[in-house]
Amino acid sequence: MSTAPCIVGVDIGGTKVACVLADAGGIILARQWQPTRAGEGWQAVVNQLLEMCEAVMQGVSREGIRGIGISCGGPLDSLRGIVYSPPNLPGWDAVPIVRLFEERFGLPVRLENDANATALAEHRFGAGRGTRNMVFMTWGTGIGGGLILDGRLYRGTNDLAGEIGHITILQDGPPCGCGKRGCLEALASGPSIARRARELAGDSPESALWQMTSPEEVTAQHVVDAAQAGDIFARFVLTEAATYMGIGIANLAQIVNPERVVLGTIAVKAGDLVLEPLRRALEVHAWSRVRQVLTVVPAELGGRAQDLAAVCLWLED
């Protein structure tokens, strides 16, 4: 791999796309972002990205750039450089994104799913620094994961390792967006927290939650806000979701024996309101020798994670 000083990182999200130019220490030298023109089809989004990349590379010679990293929601094929049909990018079907970028810029290009790329970023620059075995889990609209094992990203056979949101927690549980039932994501994601509050609304007419919003419009953010203000019902709903999350992490920890689990958005926003019940569930469902070496912490990079995720693809061997 080249030791050129700069790296281009491309983050493809359903609502926002961004390109950055960074150095190998993770310092962002230039940045462009735009709302994703997702409704206009994949060509429009790719053209958006190519233009933004061109802009962040302005004034930098090609020899000064190590490569371009692309972070995108899966499913995708990291080896062949193809993005299949991410749920947040309608109309994407086998888009050869790596080839399109290589042809345009004449630079080497790497593609990785966003949870894996963020795992690399939290491992190098965030809450997973200094660990050899780390699991990163997104915890928001969906629940995804990235495994760093023996210091390296573990992708599995076809890029599906770490899909912890879709382990089955409850037989015949609520339906999941993936088509199964009772997945961790169907029990503990942001939309699942909102759904649970809605389901139980009739039992909790006194909750402060229903002064903030209606059962039809409740979101996980409302539940976190009400819980932080001390509302017992909102705390109950969060505790239930966090307990499922703890069971999922316990199952994973029994398999990969990590030293750290780094948790995304909901853990960052709700802190101990979810971390305490989650740790109690871990105590019940994971062996003490597994727990002895394990800490569960919120992610540290916040808004920087997406910028650094794609860049980190060129900080690996």
Using CB under 5 A, list all residues that contact Zn ion: 166, 176, 178, 180, 183
To the nearest whole angstrom, how small is the minimum distance from the Cβ of residue 188 to Zn ion? Answer: 11
Closer to Zn ion by CB, 183 or 226: give it.
Answer: 183
Smaller CB separation from Zn ion, 10 or 193: 193
Nearer to Zn ion (CB atom), residue 87 or residue 215: 87
- CB burial class (10 A; 0-12, 13-18, 19+) of residue 288? exposed
CB of 175 to Zn ion, least distance (A): 9
Phi and psi torsions of 67, nearest 5°: 175, 175
| Residue-wise burial string across 245-277, b where 16 or more C-beta atoms lie within 10 A, e elsewhere | bbbbbbbbbeebebebbbbbbbbbbbeebbbeb
Q: Which is nearer to Zn ion, 144 or 146 (CB)?
A: 144
CB of 180 to Zn ion, least distance (A): 5
Contact, 11 vs 306, CB < 8 A?
yes
Helices (H), the chain: 42-56, 97-105, 114-125, 184-188, 190-199, 209-212, 220-228, 232-256, 265-270, 272-285, 288-292, 304-312
Least separation in angstroms between CB 88 and Zn ion:
16
Between 49 and 164, CB nearer to Zn ion? 164
- Of 24 and 178, CB closest to Zn ion: 178
Q: Taking the complex as a whole, how short is the minimal distance between the CB of residue 193 and Zn ion, in angstroms?
A: 16
Least separation in angstroms between residue 144's CB and Zn ion is: 11
Q: Which residues contact 192 (CB under 8 A, 6 or more apart)?
A: 174, 185, 186, 241
Contact present, 57 and 20 (Cβ < 8 Å): no
